[in-house]
């Protein structure tokens, strides 16, 4: 792909999150002559507005692309080493693009949290991606980078100390301040609609190993109800992103040749607190709907710059195997759904293009495709921390 005009094309740059990605690319890499990037979307007038709003240099090209027009998708894919797409819900607008990238040997990163669609794309495009050399990496935002890489980071440290992986890791969200994106909410709605047409996908959504290509591990801990977590002496409640994150983590383990072991267990919940107050808060969490209400953002909408910068998240990981335990912590310095996500997907695209020459074609999650290299980028550039406790 060395002859291609661009390193990265930001597809969906006229949308809320896509514009944040373009802004990040300008601020972090605008003066880097070794990185060639462009913006793409359906409407050239709106692309010009984005270019003017962000003060992008004249040499940042604008490309008109329609997700339903395979010719424009192929033209985009053939002009760049990597397509970074924020155009979701992906099950509505992403399938042709994934196929185009797989056919044309083009790398691809997205923000999907849609496991039913991911399952279909793995079955449809994996063989062609392997053949063409296309590296397709799903879920390069808040779902699922902090969780997928957090487990990877902790397991590597546990193996180094103990000579074997932890049999179980608990993911515990200690803080999450910020809004869910309108795209995430729209994806949930699209998934519910798809299930009516394809009821066979219900089994995919219910199975934590549904993205592990036929591998079935042991029964997993129940993360669907309030419990007292004895390891940390805290009440914990179900976490809304757990159904996608757990599937991605088990897929990562599969792609890493079961680096975490074939009997690995993982569950993911939100910390409510200690004692009676913690129990009350945990019960309240189970009845609240973070994606419901009249004021939730619509696709293309999002919070103010001030609100994004005041957001943050903090996730604890607890590894255990017999009497051995180890803990790690992953944090982000902006709201998860927008500010941090836009930085994570941008660094994922650049990591693939600049740092992963030896990675063969295929369909990946972040940990097995980019691992420590992406962790280093996120710590140095994107405001994340990865620490052993």
Q: Is 259 exposed, middle or buried (0-12, 13-18, 19+ CB in 10 A)?
A: middle
The highest-level CATH class for domain 6-141+340-382 is alpha beta
Rg (CA), the chain: 20
Q: Give the strands of the sheet with 384-388, arranged side by side.
A: 227-229, 234-238, 265-273, 168-177, 312-321, 324-332, 384-388
Instruction: Report how far residue 70's alpha carbon sits from residue 66's, in angstroms, rounded to the nearest whole number.
Output: 8
Tokens of 388: 């052993």
Helices 115-132/182-197 angle, 10° precision: 90
Give me the pLDDT at residue 355, please.
98
- Kindly list the domain boundaries of the chain, sorted by start residue: 6-141+340-382, 145-334
Could you tell me the mean pLDDT of each successive run of 10 residues in the chain, 389 residues long?
Answer: 88 95 96 95 97 96 96 98 95 96 98 94 98 98 96 98 98 86 64 72 89 97 94 94 95 98 97 94 81 58 78 96 96 92 97 98 98 98 97
Q: Maximum CA pair distance of the chain?
A: 63
Instruction: Report how far residue 99's alpha carbon sits from residue 92's, in angstroms, rounded to the nearest whole number.
Output: 14
Give me the pLDDT at residue 162, please.
96
Give me the pLDDT at residue 295, please.
56
């Amino acid at each position: 792909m060395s002859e291609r005009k661009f390193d990265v094309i930001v597809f969906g740059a006229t949308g809320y999150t896509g514009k944040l990605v373009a802004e990040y690319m300008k601020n972090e890499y605008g003066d880097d002559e070794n990185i060639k990037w462009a913006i793409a979307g359906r409407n050239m007038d709106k692309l010009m507005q984005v270019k003017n709003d962000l003060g992008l240099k004249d040499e940042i090209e604008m490309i008109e692309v329609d997700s339903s027009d395979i010719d424009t998708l192929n033209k985009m894919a053939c002009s760049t080493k990597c397509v970074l797409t924020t155009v979701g819900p992906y099950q509505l607008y992403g399938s042709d693009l994934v196929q185009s990238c797989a056919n044309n040997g083009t790398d691809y990163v997205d923000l999907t949290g849609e496991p039913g669609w991911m399952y279909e794309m793995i079955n449809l495009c994996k063989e062609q991606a392997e053949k063409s050399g296309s590296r397709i990496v799903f879920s390069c935002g808040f779902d699922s980078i902090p969780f997928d890489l957090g487990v990877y980071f902790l397991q590597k440290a546990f193996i180094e100390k103990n000579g074997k992986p932890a049999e179980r890791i608990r993911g515990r969200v200690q803080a999450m301040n910020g809004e869910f994106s309108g795209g995430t909410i729209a994806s949930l709605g699209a998934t519910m609609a798809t299930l009516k047409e394809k009821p066979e996908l219900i089994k995919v959504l219910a199975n934590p190993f549904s993205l592990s290509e036929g591998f079935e591990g042991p029964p997993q801990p129940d993360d669907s109800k309030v419990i007292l977590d004895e390891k940390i002496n805290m009440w914990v409640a179900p976490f809304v992103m757990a159904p996608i994150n757990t599937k991605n983590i088990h897929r990562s383990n599969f792609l890493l040749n079961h680096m975490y072991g074939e009997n690995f267990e993982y569950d993911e919940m939100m910390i409510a607190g200690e004692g009676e107050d913690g129990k009350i808060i945990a019960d309240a969490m189970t009845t609240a709907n973070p994606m419901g209400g009249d004021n939730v953002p619509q696709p293309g909408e999002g919070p103010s710059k001030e609100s994004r910068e005041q957001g943050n998240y903090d996730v604890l990981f607890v590894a255990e195997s017999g009497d051995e335990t180890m803990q790690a912590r992953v944090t982000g310095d902006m709201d998860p759904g927008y500010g941090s996500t836009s930085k994570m997907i941008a660094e994922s695209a650049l990591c693939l293009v600049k740092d992963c020459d030896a990675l063969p074609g295929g369909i990946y999650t972040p940990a097995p495709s980019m691992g420590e290299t992406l962790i280093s980028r996120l710590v140095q550039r994107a405001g994340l921390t990865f620490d052993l406790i």
